[in-house]
Amino acid sequence: MRPKSQDALNRWLAAERDDRPDAADAALREMFEALPLLAPAAGFADRVLARTGLQPAKRDVFASLGLRLVLAASLIALSLGAIWLPPALRALGGIFSLSGVVGFGVRGVAEVSRGLASVLSLGEWLFSLGQALSGLLLEPRGLAALATCLLVSGLAFRFLRAHISGERSFSYVDPI
């Protein structure tokens, strides 16, 4: 230990013996501040990676002949594409016209509106079916039939629950 940290240690121990907590905390804090920081030496991680063989090789990407050939071929294809682009656009322009695009949009809107009309007619049919069933079920005979079905299903549930609960046990295997 260095002399300064030795003095801080002596002061801390004396303060603890004399029951002076503030002075003890200050001396302990000073002693911890005097400790050197624990950090690996510079280049430690690089040396470990190099020794394990996991360190990637540092090399120039553009130094490879294959990459240079691919870049040259890409530049040639781009320049030829720039030369051939205007005639190709003129040929495609003859296929598509403003009236054709507008006609396609109008047909699309008409098909969407037909689909919406068919969905609405199906909804109207389901609504009328629901009205007819609710009219039948609101009559006294319909309500009696519903109440009877509810009573039968409730009793069946109660008997089934009692039957299942009676067969429960904590043993999973019947004794031999």
Domain extents in the chain: 1-36
Q: Is the pLDDT of residue 172 over 80?
A: no
Cα–Cα distance between 141 and 147 in angstroms, integer? 10
Residue 132 or residue 61, greater confidence: 132
- Residue in the block written with tokens 């549930």: 157
Residue 64: its pLDDT value, please? 81
Distances (CA, A) of 156 to 58, 147, 148, 150, 165: 78, 14, 12, 10, 14
Contact between 11 and 23 (Cβ < 8 Å): yes
Q: Is the pLDDT of residue 111 over 90?
A: yes
Q: Is the pLDDT of residue 150 over 90?
A: yes
The pTM assigned to this predicted structure is: 0.32
Mean per-residue pLDDT for 44-54? 80
Please name the amino acid found at residue 176: I
Q: How many residues does the chain have?
A: 176
Residue 148: its pLDDT value, please? 95
Longest CA pairwise span in the chain (Å): 104
Mean per-residue pLDDT for 61-72? 84
Residue 113: its pLDDT value, please? 96
Residue by residue, DSSP assigns 4-62 as: HHHHHHHHHHHHHHTT-HHHHHHHHHHHHHHSPP--PPTTHHHHHHHHHT-SPP---GG
Cα–Cα distance between 175 and 169 in angstroms, integer? 12
Range name among 70-79, 155-164, 167-176 with the lowest pLDDT average: 167-176
Q: Is the pLDDT of residue 171 over 70?
A: no
